[in-house]
Chains A and B, each alone.
Chain A
Amino acid sequence: MGNKKNRKFNVSVINTVLTVILLIAMAVTAAVTLTELTSSDEAEAATVIKQGSTGKTVRTIQTKLKNWGYYTGSVDGIFGSGTKKAVMYFQRKNGLPADGIVGKKTAAAMGISLSSGSGATGGNSNDEYLLARLIYGEARGEPYTGQVAVAAVVLNRVKSSSFPNTIAGVIYQSGAFTAVSDGQINLTPNATALRAARDAMNGWDPTYGCLFYYNPRTATSAWIRSKKINLTIGEHVFCV
């Protein structure tokens, strides 16, 4: 009797466990397949203004939000977390999905247009924003001068004959920067990194022409250690 009961119990337990495994297996399969199939289609070209955006349109958005009482921060043309909160507040009040991103609908509700060209970045500031992303990915914990110095190294490479001749070319040269290899370049830069990029673009070079830098505590390459050091700022050694 007791055996039968136990067996019955076992069977139902096994059934439950199996169903769960089956469901998990199906879910995993579906998830993996879906991610793989959709990942490449996700990159959209639509113009949106979101955290990390800079420029005139951001300033317009901040001014409007400030006038309407949604935003209390400074109108600085940099879309930071404060601006994002204000946008979400605006979206909730206006019955829009509160994602903190100014897309077509939110922009229309604000009475601004996001035609390409008036977008987050344009022309010269594109390079500057890319530079700010690199600074943030590579040196966000460093002193301000150290952040300007990292950007200056990129610009010195653009000027140097031994490296590609554009900012994007230098930053994305294979193996050149760890922030590119480990994806940290895709983080949203803060106001300090943006200002450091602007300073470097305006000609500030605390390194006097350095083409390399490394952290002496972690660098293993003998080749880089053989370079002539110009100066040390924070954790980084800058060399030519």
Chain B
Amino acid sequence: MSKKIKTVLIVTGAVLLLAVIGLATALGVVEKKRKESDEKIAGIYEKSYYETVDSMNDVELKLSKISVIEGGELKRELLMDVWRECDVSATNFSQLGTESEEISKVIKFLNQLGDYCLFLSTKMKTTPLNDEEKANINKFYDVVKELNVTLNEAKDNLTDGKTVAIITSEAVSGAIKNHSSVEYPEMIYDGPFSDGLNDRTPKFLDGKAEITTEEGVSKVSEYFKGATDIRYIGEGTASIPTYLYEFKLGRNVGNAQITKTGGYLAMYNAYCEINEPNLSEEECVAKGDEYMTNFGFSDMKAVWVSNDDSTVYINYAYCKDDVIFYPDLIKVKICAETGDIIGLESQNYLYNHTEREVSFPSKTIVINSLLTVKQQSKCVIPTEWNAEIDAIEVIAEKDGTEYYIYLNPETGEEIKVLVTIEESGKLLM
């Protein structure tokens, strides 16, 4: 064998060896990194698990205390604590890394329980809990106790040394599934998380005649002058049944939903690229007023205007005898270049609008003396629990910041305060 061939073989061997070492190192590094990140994720899931256990124990403890004390400030405080702990628990549950339906049932239960406790705590300011509410608390206490037993069972699986991420979520959802005795009650009171909300009916449409899809087409051309290529694209079967249409209007393609009952415009959406604004905010509001009348929504007043890069958002509320009805709200979007309407949303109006009588006592309203009052009006505002209450609205200013303060017309007590934030248009927070 010649010298040269020997050299070649040695070089080949060396190269292959180097390549193998190199690849092995690379793979080793990759594998190490992968393990590290697996461990990290497992750590996050496990942390969520232990925090869930902690906060759930707190919920149980607080509910147990609530079930034995008679009432008053302490009970209200404990109810608020349950609300907060439920929120923490629900957040932790959602971070266990699972899509399981079992877990989402638990999250739902916790959110509703927390919300219910908040509702009771607010209610207790004026009225003590009745027997049914007390019984409910006891029922929920039992559910939480059961749930905690299953959570602790999951811990046994965890401490087996299996610390891979997936085990945590499987252990928890498995344990919950096995405990079929846990029954989650339906919350029928009218809170933001109540199940009853899905069955609301639009009061405004009550008793109005049903229209056909063809009549819907003529409604579209009546509402949108100059609309072409109107196309029926389907039906919406939510709690406000609608017909869906697509059409061309100017340079936009619009999508409208017309209510099956009454043929009102429930929703409109179009995207419009705006180059140069030609209309001022006031001119846009004047356009908006015209649209309101044309759509058949009468006595509507622009109560909020926000200009966001030449897209002008206007909120209209029903206004009669100088009383503003905020629950009857319609939102409109106007393009400041063309004056075209590019969006409308009348859901709240359709759900809430009826003629109702309100009476306001003649009481002098006192607010913080540091505020400069700009405007004061009588109004009706929606509560978080889908009820409505009478209020006096005071728009006032302090150091250049605008505040909206709502007061109880009977007692003069402040109910709610909102502050205006200027950021890409105006926001109320």
**CA gap between A208 and B240 in the complex, in Å:** 8
Closest 9 CB pairs of A and B: A208-B238, A29-B22, A161-B111, A161-B193, A25-B19, A175-B99, A145-B255, A162-B108, A231-B236
Q: Are A231 and B244 in contact (CB under 8 A)?
A: yes
Contact yes or no, A159 B192, CB < 8 A: yes
CB distance from B89 to the nearest CB of A (A): 11
**What residues of B have a CB within 8 angstroms of the CB of A29 in the complex?**
22-23, 25-26
Which of A14, A36, A162, A195 has the most chain B CB within a 10 Å cutoff? A162
Nearest CB in chain B: distance from A10 CB, A: 9
Q: Please indicate the chain A residues that have their CB under 8 angstroms from the CB of B238 in the complex.
A: 207-210, 230-231, 240
Assess whether A1 is interfacial by the CB under 8 Å rule.
Answer: no
Check B267 for interface membership: any CB of A closer than 8 A: yes
- Name the B residues within 8 Å of A97 (CB-CB): none
**B4 A11 Cβ-Cβ under 8 A:** yes
Task: Give the one of B26, B109, B244, B347 with max A CB within 10 A.
Answer: B26
Binary interface profile of B, 179-213, with partner A (CB < 8 Å = 1, else 0)? 00000000000001100011000000000000000
Q: With A144-B271, A161-B108, A204-B269 in contact, is A14–B237 under 8 Å at CB?
A: no
Among A43-51, A85-93, A100-108, A122-130, the stretch in contact with B? A122-130
Task: State the Cβ distance, A13 to closest chain B Cβ, in Å.
Answer: 10
Q: Assuming A14-B8, A159-B192, A164-B91, is B345 touching A204 (CB within 8 A)?
A: yes
B331 lies within 8 A of A203 (CB): yes
In the complex, which residues of chain B have a beta carbon less than 8 angstroms from the beta carbon of A78? Answer: 309
Does B261 interact with chain A (Cβ within 8 Å)? no
Give me 8 A-to-B residue pairs in the complex whose CB atoms sit less than 8 angstroms apart, sorted by A's number. A7-B5, A14-B12, A18-B12, A74-B274, A124-B429, A165-B91, A204-B345, A233-B244
Pairwise interchain contact A195-B423, C-beta atoms closer than 8 A = no
**B311: which of A25, A32, A195 is its contact (CB, 8 Å)?**
A195
Cβ-defined contact, B29 with A144, below 8 A? no
Which residue of chain A has the shortest Cβ distance to B115 in the bound complex? A161
Question: For the complex, is B239 an interface residue (Cβ under 8 Å from A)?
Answer: yes
Q: Cβ of B347: which chain A residues have Cβ within 8 Å of it?
A: 205, 208
Tell me how far the C-beta of A197 lies from the nearest C-beta in chain B, rounded to whole angstroms: 12
Partner of A26, one of B18, B30, B242, B270: B18
| B104 interface contact, C-beta 8 A | yes
- How many angstroms between the C-alpha atoms of A162 and B113 in the bound complex? 12
How distant is the Cα of A240 from the Cα of B271 in the complex, in angstroms? 26
Closest to A208 in B: B238
A204 B267 Cβ-Cβ under 8 A:
yes
Total interface residues in chain A, CB < 8 Å? 67
**A4 to B143 Cα, complex, angstroms:** 90
Q: Would A165 and B111 be within 8 Å (CB), given that A204-B345, A205-B345 are in contact? A: yes
Verify A28–B18 contact, CB threshold 8 A. Answer: no
Task: Report, as a range, how many residues of chain B touch the other chain.
Answer: 35 or more
Whether a CB of chain B sits under 8 angstroms from the CB of A188 is no
| CB-contact partner of B345 in A56, A203, A223, under 8 A | A203
B window 261-315: CB within 8 A of A: 267, 269-271, 273-276, 308-311, 313
- Cβ-based interface call for B253 (8 A): yes
Task: Using known A-B contacts A21-B19, A204-B345, determine if residue A32 contacts B105 with beta carbons closer than 8 Å.
Answer: no
Nearest to A14 among chain B residues (CB) is: B8
Residue A141, interface by CB 8 Å: no
Q: Contact: A32 with B26, CB < 8 Å?
A: yes
B331 lies within 8 A of A28 (CB): no
Q: How far is the CB of B112 from chain A (nearest CB, A)?
A: 5
> In the complex the two chains form, what is the Cα distance from A107 to B239 in whole Å?
52
Is A98 an interface residue when CB atoms closer than 8 A count as contact? no
Which chain A positions have C-beta within 8 A of B235?
231
B371 at interface, CB cutoff 8 A: no
Residues from chain B with Cβ under 8 Å of A228 in the complex: 237
- The CA of A177 and the CA of B3, in the complex, are separated in Å by 65
B94 at the interface (CB under 8 A from A): yes
B30's partner among A36, A125, A163 (CB-CB below 8 A) is A36
A199 interface residue (CB < 8 Å to B): yes
Closest chain B residue to A24, Cβ basis: B19
Q: Does B423 lie within 8 Å of A231, measured CB to CB?
A: no
Contact B18 A25 (CB under 8 A): yes
Does A216 sit at the interface, judged by CB under 8 A?
A: no
B residues near A174, Cβ cutoff 8 Å: 97-99
Question: Which chain B positions have C-beta within 8 A of A25?
Answer: 15, 18-19, 22-23
The reply to whether the CB of B76 lies closer than 8 angstroms to some CB of chain A is no
